[in-house]
Amino acid sequence: MTSAKLRLRTPAKINPVLEVLRQREDGFHELSLVFQAVTLYDELILEKSSAGVEFWMEQPISGLGPDESNLVVKAAKLFLNEILDNRGGVWVGLEKKIPLAAGLGGGSSDAAAVLLGMEALYQTGCGLEKLKGLAAKLGSDVAFFLKGGTALGSGRGEIIQPWPPGPVWDLVLVKPPEGLSTPSVYRSGKAVFSDGKRALAFQDAAKKGTPREIAGALFNGLEPAAIHLLPLISEIKEELTKNGCLGAMVSGSGPTVFGVAENATSAQALARIFNRPGWTALAVETCSHGVEFL
């Protein structure tokens, strides 16, 4: 095997619709949700090494260490074990721009990039279906990022049905300094259960493509639980709508709130409102891809 190096970038996601259908016997919740990739990216460099997994960040972040609590490391070790039978290794460098624990899928997105990058490095020919199986072992959102764009998720979120891309729409992402853990959101008992029809219906709104129609179709059954644990989320939503946002919703289990804007100028103006110490506020737009090789 000759040495090789790859550079990839991988997007964040929002969930315009997230429906909690029921609690399953395995302790997880059955979901019906819409995934939408957006133009906020992490970048990774992957390079072959002789053995094992090495992880590096130029600017280290607390909570992202070189162990299996880091999905990047976990994904690389899983690929080495199940696809390469531990013959070979990989060095992974990460430039992190998607906030941690934000409901934006950054860790899952990075894990998908590692799976695709290692397959490209080692040319095993294992195929997308095998990678989907690995992705499901890593986390509910990982499989989505193998293709990205727009998709309907079911099961725990790992069963992905891609949708044709719709028109691009503009968004603002607002993440407060405080965080939320997904298990605590589910354990709160405040989630709203529904029947899955909103997620299916969202495709029609996305096809029409007008920001106002899209904003009117937003729904997240976890939002009441997120607001119960972090009331600041409700204040963010109110401030966004007061300043011209067409509709706002918490993404995933939070705490990031995304707002649908009339246009890019409006999204940028909304982001400036939350230019505060410790906050992340960004104007982005939807995109029709997942992991990209640079």
Per the prediction, the chain carries an average pLDDT of 93
Residue 27 reports pLDDT greater than 80: no
Is residue 94 within 8 Å of 66, Cβ to Cβ? no
Residue 205 structure tokens: 């709104």
Say how far apart CA 100 and CA 60 lie, in whole Å: 12
Q: What is the mean pLDDT of residues 65-77?
A: 91
Q: What is the mean pLDDT of residues 55-78?
A: 89
Q: What is the mean pLDDT of residues 138-162?
A: 93
Q: What is the mean pLDDT of residues 248-261?
A: 96
pLDDT of residue 1: 37
User: Whole-model pTM?
Assistant: 0.93
Residue 237 reports pLDDT greater than 90: yes
Residue 38 reports pLDDT greater than 90: yes
pLDDT in tens, 182-194: 889 999 999 999 9
Lowest average pLDDT, out of 44-48, 59-63, 80-84, 222-226, goes to 59-63
pLDDT of residue 68: 84
pLDDT of residue 4: 80
Confidence band (pLDDT; 50, 70, 90) for 164? very high
Catalytic (active-site) positions:
13, 141
- Please state, for a pLDDT cut of 90, what percent of the chain lies above it: 78
Domains and CATH numbers, the chain: 5-157 (3.30.230.10), 170-285 (3.30.70.890)
CB neighbour list of residue 26: distance below 8 Å, 6 or more residues apart: none
Strand boundaries in 101-189, DSSP class E = 150-155, 159-163, 170-175
pLDDT of residue 28: 80
According to DSSP, the β-strands at 219-220 and 17-23 are: parallel
Lowest average pLDDT, out of 33-47, 59-73, 210-224, 280-294, goes to 59-73
Say how far apart CA 187 and CA 170 lie, in whole Å: 33
Q: What is the mean pLDDT of residues 32-36?
A: 96
pLDDT in tens, 96-106: 999 988 999 99
Residue 2 reports pLDDT greater than 50: no
Residue 259 reports pLDDT greater than 80: yes
Residue scoring higher pLDDT (121 or 3): 121
pLDDT in tens, 109-136: 999 999 999 999 999 999 899 999 999 9
Nearest of 149, 190, 37 to residue 104 by alpha carbon: 37
Say how far apart CA 140 and CA 158 lie, in whole Å: 5
* Phi, psi values for residue 149, rounded to 5°: 70, -130
